[in-house]
Structure 1
């Protein structure tokens, strides 16, 4: 199994970075994982801003040479892991910009004249590891599960990915937020996860 980990947090001393390390530690001890690549969007200085004009059209984004490296990573991966905080009920703008650019028509899906397009990333699986300051059930009860609906339905299922797992950890800025237990949970999951 090829594992692509997309990390989106500007601080390498953050709890999110600790979660990234546990993903890598567990995956490194998992005999099913043959290779791991990490894409740190901030360290990479990924440009999340979409630009379209008469020389750069949206319909050509799937073939943009500046994004070829990232397309190759997504093609290569069997499992894609996203590690990020939830800010204002959704992933950071940096990650959303990556999604806007990478999950483009002609690469991630193809219009087929039906209600839903043909997903071109079938067979892959996704794990989202996210943290938030608020209570664990805040997105479910206050935001109608907007974060998971956005990621699951509006993105991953749209491009053909059906196997999706969420770890959505709340109260992560509290002293008694069970951070150590959550980190161990992620380590154990990735140590044994299959495709």
Structure 2
């Protein structure tokens, strides 16, 4: 497996960063994972702002020369891992900007005039690792699972990615949040991953 980890948090002393370290540790101890690339969107200074004008048109976004490196990473990866916090019930704006730019028509999907497009990223799988201050079941009961619906149905299935695994950890700012147990769970998942 070739694994691309997309990390989205501005602080390298955050719990999200600790999840990144545990995922990496597990990946490096797993013989099934052949190669790993890390894209740290904040460290990379990825520009999440969409600009459409006479020079940059939305329909040409799949060919934007500024995004070649990122398109190549997505095509290269068998498994894509997103690590991010949940802020206001959704991923950070930086990650949403990345998604807006990268999962473009002509690259991630092709519109053929039917009810649904043809997803062009078939065969890949995704793992979403997120943490939040609120209770673990808050997104399910209060927000009707909006975060998972956004990532799985509105984005990943749309572009042909059907295999999606979520780790959504709540109570992460609480002394009773069992952070170490959850970090170990991520390490073990990637250490034992077979596909």
TM over 0.5: yes
Equivalent-residue separation in structure 1 for 2:99 and 2:194 (angstroms): 25
Aligned with 2:12: secondary structure?
coil
Does 2:192 correspond to 1:180? no
Does 2:117 correspond to 1:113? no
Does 2:153 correspond to 1:153? yes
Per the alignment, residue 54 of structure 1 pairs with 54
Equivalent-residue separation in structure 2 for 1:97 and 1:19 (angstroms): 22
Equivalent-residue separation in structure 1 for 2:90 and 2:194 (angstroms): 27
- The structural deviation recorded for 1:53 is 0.2
Per the alignment, residue 125 of structure 1 pairs with 125
| Over 2 Å off, 4+ runs | none
Per the alignment, residue 6 of structure 2 pairs with 6
Aligned with 2:43: secondary structure?
coil
Equivalent-residue separation in structure 2 for 1:56 and 1:158 (angstroms): 24
Equivalent-residue separation in structure 2 for 1:191 and 1:162 (angstroms): 22
Gaps of 5+ in 1: none
Does 2:101 correspond to 1:101? yes
Does 2:182 correspond to 1:192? no
**TM-score, normalised to structure 2's length?**
1.00
**TM-score, normalised to structure 1's length?**
1.00
Equivalent-residue separation in structure 1 for 2:9 and 2:113 (angstroms): 38
- The structural deviation recorded for 1:194 is 2.1
Aligned with 1:159: secondary structure?
coil
Aligned with 2:81: secondary structure?
strand
The 5-angstrom pairing of residues 17-56 of structure 1 reads 17-56=17-56
Aligned with 2:158: secondary structure?
helix
- The structural deviation recorded for 1:22 is 0.4
The 5-angstrom pairing of residues 156-171 of structure 1 reads 156-171=156-171
